[in-house]
Amino acid sequence: MKTRAFTLGLVLAALVAIAGASDPTTAKENVFETRPLGIKVSIKMIGPYTQSADLQIICLFKHKSSGDTYEGAAKETDAHLGGILSALRNRGEFVGVLGETFLFSPPSGSIPAKRFMVIGLGDEKDLSLNSLKVVGRIAAREAVRLKASHVAWAPVVRDEGNTAIDVGQGDRAFVGELLSAYDTEKRLQDQGLADKFSIEDVVIEAGPTFFDGAVKEVGEGIDSTLLEIGRRSGTPYFSPGK
């Protein structure tokens, strides 16, 4: 009887953990401040099909004629979107070369994000930390261009069957370049070269297995990036008399 009760308790605990991970109001989250940039960056144990955002971003490898891999969050996201992602790739309308983007509005009732962007990672065999840095720069500039105050990103690299890069290090590369590019955007705004706009928060979506590693790497990466930004020249990009 005690064994049965203990087993039931374990099952209930697991169900509570699963429910919490899919509920944006209770999902485990670690928040970082990025003063003086002002963006709240967080690592959150949640999937890209559950997080509310003005702009939800994921990455996909270049399409393979032999078939693309969809597991975990990648599979669930495609399913929630009614197969949009796989349809675009299978028809060759989103090739997935590094830096290629595709933006659409999710069907009503599918996922909570207002807009959804896919950024290409290129050939899977060529994946590197530099690939994630390119994605970070694109994410920052697209979020500013689209005036998306609340941004969420999931690499879904593991969910496409690739284990070449440590998840936390990949998240660190992405966040570092996003903050660096955003700092440039704010400098342009301060000099009257771009419209005023601020990103309020960026959520990095991570699965339970990779959460702690992502928190460590991203935290260290943010500190390093902010130091680099602080050493940038304050000289204006242009001189009015020239």
pLDDT one-digit tens code per residue, 141-176: 999 999 999 999 999 999 999 999 999 999 999 999
Q: Residue 20: pLDDT above 50?
A: no
Per residue in 223-236, pLDDT tens?
A: 999 999 999 999 99
Q: Is residue 40 part of a domain?
A: yes
Q: What separation in angstroms does the CA of 145 have from each of 141, 177, 196, 201, 211?
A: 6, 17, 11, 15, 30
Per residue in 74-97, pLDDT tens?
A: 999 999 999 999 999 999 999 999
Task: Say how many CA atoms lie within 13 Å of 104 toward its Cβ.
Answer: 13
Q: Residue 7: pLDDT above 90?
A: no
Confidence of residue 239 (pLDDT cuts 50, 70, 90): confident
Q: Is residue 100 part of a domain?
A: yes
State residue 22's pLDDT score.
53
Confidence of residue 18 (pLDDT cuts 50, 70, 90): very low
The total number of structural domains that make up the chain: 1
Q: Residue 1: pLDDT above 60?
A: no
Confidence of residue 4 (pLDDT cuts 50, 70, 90): low
Q: Is residue 1 part of a domain?
A: no
Q: Is residue 75 part of a domain?
A: yes
Query: To the nearest whole percent, how much of the chain has pLDDT over 70?
Result: 90
Amino acid at 201: D
Domain that holds residue 197: 25-230
Q: Is residue 13 part of a domain?
A: no
CA 78/CA 16 separation, integer angstroms: 25
Confidence of residue 242 (pLDDT cuts 50, 70, 90): low
Average confidence (pLDDT) over 27-35: 95
Q: Is residue 98 part of a domain?
A: yes
Q: Residue 111: pLDDT above 90?
A: yes
Domain CATH for 29 = 3.40.220.10
pTM: 0.88
Q: Is residue 83 part of a domain?
A: yes
State residue 106's pLDDT score.
98
Q: Is residue 9 part of a domain?
A: no
Average confidence (pLDDT) over 218-222: 98
